[in-house]
Amino acid sequence: MCGRFALTLPDDAVARLFDARLSNDSATAHGQNICPTQPVLTILSKAGERHAGPMRWGFLPHWYTTETDGPLLINARAETIATKPAFAQAVRRRRCLIPATGFYEWTKDAEGARLPWYIYPPEGGVLAFAGVWQVWGAEDTRQATCAIVTCAANDRLKALHHRMPVILSPQDWPKWLGEEGHGAAPLMRPAPDDALRFHRVGTAINSNRASGDGLIDPLPLGTG
């Protein structure tokens, strides 16, 4: 799964990376502790043009009458996304990219304490999570919402968690965004083992209120 991630680059820089036009309404969450229900930067394609803009991280199916009318759908499993009523239409017609500079997973020690790990590309840069989106609500409640697609973890990340986000390489972006027709299902696979690195970080990130620039710093050697 993916329940927390980081995006430390400004929106305009990310939009340029994805060759997308940045929305005027670009009030998105940034920093090293982006959490569910926050507005996250997304990339989608309309009429052959890419657009970058905010969506609520937490997919709201059309039958929800309020934002809390059902479970918080921050992830969509690749194995069942095409058959789940909440996501079936979205994965066929409404796919997006969700940029990130890294994300987090947790293990537990012998006493059950949650130990956070930061996962990121070896050379830095930006990851592109596969996402699906849905416009929900009417009139003053109308908003775009999204979920991150997940798959089984690759062999390297299995030590931390059995799931991981679907991470798309630049050559796969046009297919996922629907710019090269249909048939995006084969893209929903684990990233190669060498595509990511990880290290332990401090437990401050366990709080969704944590902020600052040191959350992704590796723990000093010998720290438990």
Nearest one of 213, 218, 217, 148 to 8, comparing CA atoms: 213
- How far, in Å, CA of 40 to CA of 52, rounded? 10
What 110-117 contacts at long range (C-beta under 8 Å, 24+ apart), as own/partner pairs, is 113/203, 114/203, 114/206, 115/200, 115/203, 116/200, 116/201, 116/202, 116/203, 116/205, 116/206, 117/160, 117/198, 117/199, 117/200, 117/201
Read off the DSSP letter of residue 59: B
Instruction: Report pTM.
Output: 0.96
Say if residue 79's pLDDT is above 60.
Answer: yes
For residue 42, give the amino acid letter: T
Beta-sheet pairing, 143-152 with 49-57:
parallel
Q: In this predicted model, which residue has the larger pLDDT, 124 or 16?
A: 16
Contact 166, 151 (CB under 8 A): yes
pLDDT tens digits along 140-168: 889 999 999 999 999 999 999 999 999 99
Task: Find the mean pLDDT for residues 5-26.
Answer: 93
Q: What percent of the chain has pLDDT over 90?
A: 87
Q: What percent of the chain has pLDDT over 70?
A: 98
Q: Taking CA 45 as the corner, what is the angle to CA 44 and CA 48, rounded to the nearest 5 degrees?
A: 165
pLDDT value at residue 223: 62
pLDDT value at residue 120: 98
- Domains in the chain and their CATH numbers? 5-206 (3.90.1680.10)
pLDDT tens digits along 86-101: 999 999 999 999 999 9
Structure tokens at 20: 């997308």
**pLDDT band with cut points at 50, 70 and 90 for residue 27:** confident
pLDDT tens digits along 37-66: 999 999 999 988 999 999 999 999 999 999
